[in-house]
């Protein structure tokens, strides 16, 4: 059967036959970085278009439908426009940090792609602390945002960046706690192990109540971490014009935008991996026949399907819920999500010890 | 007691948010609800009383009903209309006011309908056209009476 695993193996072997190990490593790294950049571009185009269409349909509008077939070329046209636009640097900005910030945010988003398993045996770096790596690296993006806000020398930017800092730092706790409660069940931080542990059912079903609670908390927390509405205090068009990227234009603005969408993809991919089994097809216990039928659907389809379903969920949040005030935002985290998350961790631990999961 | 309130507030919050999601979800899967009008291709049928611009009615013999009484000019709150009149000599030797040109500044008009209400002979009316954008403001100053038109028989 044709699968991505075979493909990567074939390429690896072909390279190994003709070159030395160092060259192979370099070539493969170059190929992977190309893949990451291509994925970035594609994700940006697809997700922006998806968001615009989803928001339009939810608001009883049509959305972009003029450029290309049914508006499909709209985001490409927008990107072209952004590339042509002048990238302005304000006179009194800290030039070095100002120009560096978009790249910091971008690079963080790219680094997060490393441990994600896109399909069976299709993972860039299967390290044994995958989940820890993701939570650690994703918090670096706040530095990029603070950098942008500070270097712009603009009050709106600074306030936006500060809000974003407060928000990301506090919501990371809940996201971390809900991941930890799942780690208690899986017993491993390695993403490939987490996925194989869901061979007889996804954790959201196997872990029943605590898993569902932890999933809900995780989704809320990552929506806040990616600075999306209803938690878009960092951008807050109505109060801060555009928050930390007020002063950015052209391609550097697009980098922030792109990083935001790739971050959404990454967090949804992680949620899909931890709660819905990543590329693991829908298996029920030991019903061999049923499981076998499910295996016929390629793993990459399972992975992208789950991830995009979760992305749709996050978009659904954005276009339904009212925005929160800053104090409400912190209230929600510290008075609701965090205590519930801690309680849930306790519950999960008890269940894991007693073996009350499937 | 405190705990009960706490749980209740969480429950109320979650249910109200879910209600909202049901609404948007319903719209998402029912594209029939979409109210967007694809303007240049599909044009909406405008209501009968829609006011687009002031026009003067002419019949097939190129005759209008304007007597040049300037009532509309006086009624207009912002000097949109300029009625230029002349004096015709009737066959029995009397001087009679008649319309020379009827100048209408669309760019000044608020479409308030006062001129039309003021006209004693129903010479002018509102048209439904609304695509008035032009590159030169001068193009918005219009002459409403058609060249060579004359007063309709029997309109006083
Ligand atoms: S509609 Fe009103 S503003 Fe326009 S010409 Fe008539 S009276 Fe003047
Ligand atoms: S349009 Fe009517 S009100 Fe105006 S000058 Fe002519 S007859 Fe008089």
- Distance between CA atoms of A130 and B62, rounded to whole angstroms? 85
- Distance between CA atoms of A336 and B17, rounded to whole angstroms? 15
- My answer on whether A245 and A298 are in the same domain is yes
- Whole domain around residue A31: which residue ranges? 1-84
CA-CA distances (angstroms) from residue A342 to A184, A324, A332, A335, B8? 13, 23, 14, 11, 19
CA-CA distances (angstroms) from residue A167 to A4, A170, A223, A327, A331? 38, 5, 11, 11, 11
- My answer on whether A22 and A76 are in the same domain is yes
Residue A13: what pLDDT?
A: 79
Binary contact (A320, B28; C-beta < 8 A): no
Residue A234: what pLDDT?
A: 67
B15 pLDDT more than 70: yes
- My answer on whether A90 and A80 are in the same domain is no
- My answer on whether A196 and A285 are in the same domain is yes
Q: Which atom of ligand 1 sits closest to the CA of residue B111?
A: 1
- My answer on whether A50 and A101 are in the same domain is no
- My answer on whether A69 and A157 are in the same domain is no
- My answer on whether A125 and A197 are in the same domain is yes
Residue B135: what pLDDT?
A: 92
* Domain termination site, one of A58, A84, A110: A84
- Distance between CA atoms of A96 and A164, rounded to whole angstroms? 21
Binary contact (A60, B28; C-beta < 8 A): no
* B-interface mutation test, from A60, A215, A322, most B Cβ less than 10 A away: A60
Residue A2: what pLDDT?
A: 54
| 3-class DSSP assignment, residue A147 | helix
- My answer on whether A50 and A183 are in the same domain is no
- Which of A305, A164, A135 is closest to A236 using CA atoms? A164
- Distance between CA atoms of A256 and A209, rounded to whole angstroms? 37
Q: Which residues line ligand 1 (CB under 6 A)?
A: B 54, 75-78, 80-81, 109-115
- My answer on whether A140 and A165 are in the same domain is yes
Contacts of A121-128 with CB under 8 Å at 24 or more apart are: A121/A3, A121/A4, A121/A5, A121/A8, A121/A9, A122/A4, A122/A5, A122/A8, A122/A279, A122/A299, A122/A300, A123/A191, A123/A192, A124/A32, A124/A36, A126/A190, A126/A191, A126/A192, A127/A190, A128/A188, A128/A189, A128/A190
Per-residue pLDDT of chain A (358 residues; tens, 9 = 90+): 456 667 777 777 787 777 777 888 888 888 888 888 888 888 888 888 888 888 888 888 888 888 878 878 888 888 888 888 877 777 877 888 888 888 888 888 888 888 887 777 777 777 888 888 888 888 888 888 888 888 888 888 888 888 888 888 888 888 888 888 888 888 888 888 888 877 777 777 777 788 888 888 888 888 888 877 787 776 767 777 777 778 787 788 888 888 888 888 888 888 888 888 777 777 777 777 777 777 777 778 888 888 888 898 888 888 888 888 888 888 888 888 888 888 888 888 888 888 777 7
Q: How far apart are the first and last CA of chain B?
A: 86
- My answer on whether A269 and A158 are in the same domain is yes
Residue A236: what pLDDT?
A: 67
Q: How many domains is chain A partitioned into structurally?
A: 2
The per-residue pLDDT of chain B, averaged, comes to 86
- My answer on whether A171 and A236 are in the same domain is yes
- My answer on whether A202 and A318 are in the same domain is yes
Report yes or no: B44 and B83 within 8 Å, Cβ to Cβ: no
Helix (H) or strand (E) holding A148, with range, is helix A141-151
Is pTM beyond 0.80? Reply is: no
For atom 8 of ligand 2, which residue has the closest CA? B69
**pLDDT for B37-82, tens place per residue?**
888 888 888 888 888 888 888 888 888 888 888 888 999 998 899 9
Residue A24: what pLDDT?
A: 80
**pLDDT for B106-127, tens place per residue?**
889 999 999 999 988 888 888 8
Distance from CA of A305 to the nearest CA of B (A): 18
């Amino acid at each position: 059967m044709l699968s991505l695993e075979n493909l990567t193996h074939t390429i690896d072997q072909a390279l190994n036959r003709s070159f030395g190990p160092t060259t192979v490593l370099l070539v493969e790294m170059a190929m992977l970085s190309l893949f990451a950049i291509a994925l970035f571009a594609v994700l940006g185009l697809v997700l922006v278009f998806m968001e615009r269409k989803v928001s339009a349909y939810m608001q009883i509008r049509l959305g972009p439908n003029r450029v290309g077939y049914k508006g499909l070329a709209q985001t490409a046209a927008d990107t072209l426009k952004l590339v042509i636009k002048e990238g302005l640097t304000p006179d009194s900005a800290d030039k070095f940090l100002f120009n560096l910030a978009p790249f910091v945010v971008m690079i963080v988003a790219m680094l997060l792609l490393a441990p994600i398993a896109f399909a069976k045996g299709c993972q860039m770096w299967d390290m044994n602390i995958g989940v820890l790596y993701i939570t650690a690296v994703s918090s670096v993006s706040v530095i990029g945002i603070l950098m942008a806000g500070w270097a712009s020398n603009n009050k709106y930017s600074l306030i936006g960046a500060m809000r974003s800092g407060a928000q990301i730092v506090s919501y990371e706790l809940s996201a971390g706690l809900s991941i930890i409660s799942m780690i208690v069940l899986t017993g491993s931080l390695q993403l490939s192990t987490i996925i194989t542990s869901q061979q007889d059912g996804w954790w959201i079903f196997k872990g029943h109540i605590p898993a569902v609670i932890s999933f809900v908390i995780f989704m809320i927390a990552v929506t806040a971490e990616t600075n999306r509405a209803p938690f878009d205090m960092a951008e807050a068009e109505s109060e801060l014009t555009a928050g930390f990227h007020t002063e950015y234009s052209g391609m550097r603005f697009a980098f922030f935008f792109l990083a935001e969408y790739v971050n959404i993809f990454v967090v949804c991919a992680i949620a899909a991996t931890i709660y819905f089994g990543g590329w693991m097809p829908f298996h029920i216990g030991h019903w061999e026949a049923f499981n076998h039928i499910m295996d016929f659907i390629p793993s990459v389809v399972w992975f992208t399907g789950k991830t995009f379903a979760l992305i749709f969920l996050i978009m659904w949040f954005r276009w339904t819920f009212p925005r929160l005030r800053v104090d409400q935002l912190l209230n929600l985290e510290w008075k609701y999500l965090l205590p519930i998350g801690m309680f849930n961790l306790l519950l999960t631990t008890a269940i894991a010890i007693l073996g009350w999961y499937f | 007691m405190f705990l009960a309130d706490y749980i209740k507030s969480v429950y109320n919050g979650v249910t109200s948010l879910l209600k909202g999601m049901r609404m948007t979800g319903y719209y998402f899967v029912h594209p029939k609800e979409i109210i967007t009008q694809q303007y240049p291709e599909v044009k909406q049928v405008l209501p009968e009383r829609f006011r687009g611009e002031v026009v003067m009615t002419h019949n097939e013999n190129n005759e209008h009903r304007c007597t040049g009484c300037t009532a509309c000019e006086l009624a207009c709150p912002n000097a949109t209309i300029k009625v230029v009149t002349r004096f015709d000599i009737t066959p029995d030797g009397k001087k009679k006011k008649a319309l020379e040109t009827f100048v209408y500044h669309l760019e000044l008009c608020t479409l308030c309908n006062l001129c039309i209400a003021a006209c004693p002979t129903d010479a002018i009316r509102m048209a439904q056209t609304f695509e008035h954008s032009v590159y030169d403001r001068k193009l918005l100053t219009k002459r409403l009476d058609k060249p060579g038109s004359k007063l309709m028989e029997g309109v006083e």
